[in-house]
Amino acid sequence: MKPLSKNVIVAILAILVISIIFSNYTFKNDKPEDVNLAKVVEEIQNGKIKSIDIEGADIKIVLNDGTKQTTRKEAIVSLPEALINYGVTAEQLRNANITVKDRSARSYFVGVILPSLLPLLLLIIVFWFMLRQMQGANSKAMQFGNSNAKEFNKDQKQKVTFADVAGAKESKEELREVVDFLKSPKKFSDLGAKIPKGVLLMGRPGTGKTLLARAVAGEAGVPFFHMSGSEFVEMFVGVGASRVRDLFARAKKAAPCIIFIDEIDAVGRQRGSGLGGSHDEREQTLNQILVEMDGFDPNLGVIVIAATNRPDVLDPALLRPGRFDRRVILDLPDINEREAILQIYAKNKPLVAEINLRRVAERTAGFAGADLMNLLNEAAIRAARRNDTKVTQEDVLDSIEKVMLGPERKSYVMTKEEKKVTAYHEAGHAIIAHLLPNSDPVHKVSIIPRGSAGGYTMKVPGEDKRLHKRAEFLADLAVMLGGFVAEKETFGDVTTGASDDLRRSTRLARELVTRYGMSETLGPRVFGETQEMIFLGKEIHEQRNYSEKTAELIDLEVEKLVNSALDTARGIIRKEKLHLDKIAKTLLEKEVLEKEEFESLFSDHVPTTTSVVA
Ligand code: ADP
Ligand code: MG
Ligand code: ZN
């Protein structure tokens, strides 16, 4: 706020100067002496008077020697009259040089108008400064309604093409059509085909929506107007709508071109469900978008691409044919796509030759493209901090855990006892994960504290799964409880270290019963309606739509699931006590066991036929 403080100083200075001038004016003249009328008469008779000024009832006298005096008289009598009454002769009176003045204009101004005008003057000055400052901030105050869309041109240096987007094969296929429309609209219009007006990209954050939209523009070689949904909405009502108008007007002039509205859910939420004050403005903006999209000729060659990660909250009017009728879904990348994305970002980083990006891709299920980019960046930072010139496999693998669990807490020193408990706890998870056929294989076991975890067992699905079987969930439950059971079986006591496992296993068991219909007693029903609160974008509210009796049954079923998982875990740990000890001892020694080392501990193992029972 530099300009403000500067202006304030100027204003204060102005006030000071004015008040100094004003005060000088009133206090400058050396005070005249107050005398009575008799004294004046005496002075007149002695011929001492140079001049007498009469202003109303005030009389100002200047003597021959320059002394000033004042006196007053009754208002009704004139001064000469009064003086004559006092015995002054007409001759003497003539010599006294009397002038009658009206209240002088100047003294009237200083005495009456200025004091009442001064505050007004100050106010005007202050307002003037404020106004100037406001204009400084938005010197484009009158262009408020213009869209400030950023325009990327075909001759942009960092042109993005489809080659920069790894994976997302189907999405690219869809969009390649759009590129064709933009390149040769005539081909389509000659056949009477209507070019789509809007394409909606949907997908989780970081899956490459923005990137893909830019790639379309890059491929087609047309101008690209980029604007984010939130940029439409300002403090003032009506601005959003006017920005939409301006944006479309600009685009129509530049056709063929692409308008990209990122995060459209900021303005495109279902109308009428508005919570919070600004929804009127949002609705107007949305209406304007709808109107504009209906308004232009489809063969003009303007295509609106919008992106959102909340397609569920969009207003249905946006999705109807003729508007965003093409929908492109960007999924989280699968293992092959993850490898491809990693390869793109590995290109500009010096990696050691033997780095296995497949391994990295395996361990990063659930990572979006942006996460993978971030991961390699973390790895490069780690390498730089080691003062290495190349990024190693270890840098990358360590960064995965850092991204997922938080940084290693090297300074945290565990007591011998704690270390031993942690080793058995993790060995418990690992051994059950390894021996249950429906569980994912173990990739790493560690007892180095990381984030809030004392140790961790990483198990990774062999392939990306969309569907999960009940048997897998039951195995998961047993694995989660494995740490707890191992502690109990080994030391006869349990620690707080298992609390997070218990929380997660209880929640999973409950979900099996209430959401997936995987309990035999209660059957394929969903219990409880989870309501979405739009303004938080999260499920925060569960409405109970079942009876007290059912609630009891649910609790019973959850208990049954947890108990049976506990039995499974206990069975394995008792039976495989030797292996448990072996894993825990090796862990205490090495702190970290990678997949191969861990599996070699079971080389003497005869596969058991343990399977999960409900
Ligand atoms: P979104 O808009 O979906 O939230 P972005 O398009 O902004 O995600 O993606 C974020 C960053 O992640 C991109 O700048 C890009 O570097 C990277 N990224 C995401 N998906 C991919 C992908 N499929 N191929 C290459 N890079 C990707
Ligand atoms: Mg984006
Ligand atoms: Zn645990």
Query: Catalytic site residues?
Result: 426
Residue type, 118: L
**What average pLDDT does range 557-569 have in this prediction?**
94
537's tokens: 């974008």
Residue type, 480: M
Q: In this structure, is the dihedral angle defined by the CA atoms of residues 280, 281, 287 and 290, taken in order, positive or negative?
A: negative
Of all protein residues, the one whose alpha carbon is nearest to atom 14 of ligand 1 is 211
DSSP per-residue letters across 452-486 = TBS-EEEE--SS--S---HHHHHHHHHHHHHHHHH
pLDDT confidence of 144, banded at 50, 70, 90? low
207 in contact with ligand 1, CB cutoff 6 A: yes
Specify the pLDDT at position 197.
84
Residue scoring higher pLDDT (16 or 549): 549
Tell me the C-alpha distance between 344 and 541, whole Å.
42
Cβ-count burial of 240 within 10 angstroms (0-12 exposed, 13-18 middle, 19+ buried)?
Answer: buried
pLDDT confidence of 613, banded at 50, 70, 90? very low
Tens digit of pLDDT for each residue in 335-353? 889 999 999 888 888 887 7
Tell me the C-alpha distance between 175 and 303, whole Å.
11
308 in contact with ligand 1, CB cutoff 6 A: no
Contact 313, 265 (CB under 8 A): yes
Q: Which of 25-29, 215-219, 304-308 has the highest mean pLDDT?
A: 304-308
pLDDT confidence of 482, banded at 50, 70, 90? very high
Residue scoring higher pLDDT (24 or 496): 496
Q: In this structure, is the dihedral angle defined by the CA atoms of residues 462, 468, 474 and 478, taken in order, positive or negative?
A: positive
Look at 180-194, 482-496, 528-542 and tell me which has the smallest mean pLDDT.
528-542
H, E, C per residue of 500-565: HHHHHHHHHHHHHHHCCCCCCCCCCCCCCEEEEECCCCEEEEEECCCCHHHHHHHHHHHHHHHHHH
Residue 211 CA, closest ligand 1 atom number: 6
pLDDT confidence of 533, banded at 50, 70, 90? very low
Nearest 5°: phi and psi at 58?
A: -85, 135
SS3 content of the chain, % helix, strand, coil (to 5): 55, 15, 35
Specify the pLDDT at position 534.
44
502 in contact with ligand 1, CB cutoff 6 A: no
Look at 80-89, 384-393, 583-592 and tell me which has the smallest mean pLDDT.
80-89
pLDDT at 441 over 50: yes
CA-CA distances (angstroms) from residue 185 to 162, 181, 299, 483? 20, 5, 7, 63
Q: What is the domain class of 335-404 according to CATH?
A: mainly alpha
Of all protein residues, the one whose alpha carbon is nearest to atom 1 of ligand 1 is 206
Residue scoring higher pLDDT (75 or 457): 457
Tell me the C-alpha distance between 271 and 314, whole Å.
9
329 alpha carbon – ligand 2 mean position (Å): 14
pLDDT confidence of 569, banded at 50, 70, 90? very high
**What average pLDDT does range 121-130 have in this prediction?**
90
Tell me the C-alpha distance between 262 and 231, whole Å.
10
Q: Which CATH code fits 150-330? A: 3.40.50.300
460 alpha carbon – ligand 3 mean position (Å): 16
Of all protein residues, the one whose alpha carbon is nearest to atom 17 of ligand 1 is 370
160 in contact with ligand 1, CB cutoff 6 A: no
Contact 73, 57 (CB under 8 A): yes
497 in contact with ligand 1, CB cutoff 6 A: no
**What average pLDDT does range 84-101 have in this prediction?**
78
483 alpha carbon – ligand 3 mean position (Å): 5
DSSP-derived 3-state class of residue 196:
coil
224 alpha carbon – ligand 1 mean position (Å): 18
206 alpha carbon – ligand 2 mean position (Å): 7
212 alpha carbon – ligand 2 mean position (Å): 9
CA torsion, points 121, 122, 127, 132, in degrees to nearest 10?
Answer: 100
pLDDT at 180 over 80: yes
82 in contact with ligand 1, CB cutoff 6 A: no
Specify the pLDDT at position 89.
81
Of all protein residues, the one whose alpha carbon is nearest to atom 11 of ligand 1 is 370
User: Mean pLDDT, the chain, as a whole number?
Assistant: 82
Is the preceding peptide bond at 256 cis, omega within 30 degrees of 0?
yes
pLDDT at 2 over 60: no
Contact 172, 212 (CB under 8 A): yes
- Domain 3-106 architecture: 2-Layer Sandwich (3.30)
Specify the pLDDT at position 68.
83
pLDDT at 27 over 70: no
pLDDT at 29 over 90: no
**What average pLDDT does range 42-64 have in this prediction?**
81
Among all bound ligands, the one having the nearest atom to the CA of 207 is 1
CA-CA distances (angstroms) from residue 504 to 100, 192, 480? 103, 57, 8
pLDDT confidence of 535, banded at 50, 70, 90? very low
Specify the pLDDT at position 505.
94
Tens digit of pLDDT for each residue in 195-224? 788 899 998 888 999 899 888 888 888 888
Residue 209 CA, closest ligand 1 atom number: 3
pLDDT confidence of 145, banded at 50, 70, 90? low
DSSP-derived 3-state class of residue 121:
helix
Of all protein residues, the one whose alpha carbon is nearest to atom 9 of ligand 1 is 208
Look at 40-54, 409-423, 595-609 and tell me which has the smallest mean pLDDT.
595-609
Domain boundaries, the chain: 3-106, 150-330, 335-404, 416-600
Residue 167 CA, closest ligand 1 atom number: 23
pLDDT confidence of 22, banded at 50, 70, 90? low
206 in contact with ligand 1, CB cutoff 6 A: yes
Give percent above pLDDT 70 in the chain.
86
Residue 340 CA, closest ligand 1 atom number: 24
Of all protein residues, the one whose alpha carbon is nearest to atom 6 of ligand 1 is 208
584's tokens: 């825990």
CA-CA distances (angstroms) from residue 179 to 155, 185, 255, 333, 497? 17, 10, 13, 23, 55
**Would you say the pTM of this structure is higher than 0.75?**
no
354's tokens: 């033997």
213 in contact with ligand 1, CB cutoff 6 A: no
N- to C-terminal Cα distance for the chain?
A: 68
Of all protein residues, the one whose alpha carbon is nearest to atom 5 of ligand 1 is 208
Which residue spans within 64-149 are E strands per DSSP?
Answer: 68-72, 98-101
Contact 442, 457 (CB under 8 A): yes
pLDDT at 384 over 70: yes
367 in contact with ligand 1, CB cutoff 6 A: no
Match domain 416-600 to its CATH number in 3.30.420.10, 2.40.160.10, 1.10.390.10, 1.20.58.760. 1.20.58.760
Among all bound ligands, the one having the nearest atom to the CA of 343 is 1
181 alpha carbon – ligand 1 mean position (Å): 24
Look at 23-32, 48-57, 196-205, 397-406 and tell me which has the smallest mean pLDDT.
23-32
Pick from 299, 321, 290, 196: nearest CA to 252:
299
166 in contact with ligand 1, CB cutoff 6 A: yes
205 in contact with ligand 1, CB cutoff 6 A: yes
Specify the pLDDT at position 194.
78
Residue 166 CA, closest ligand 1 atom number: 24
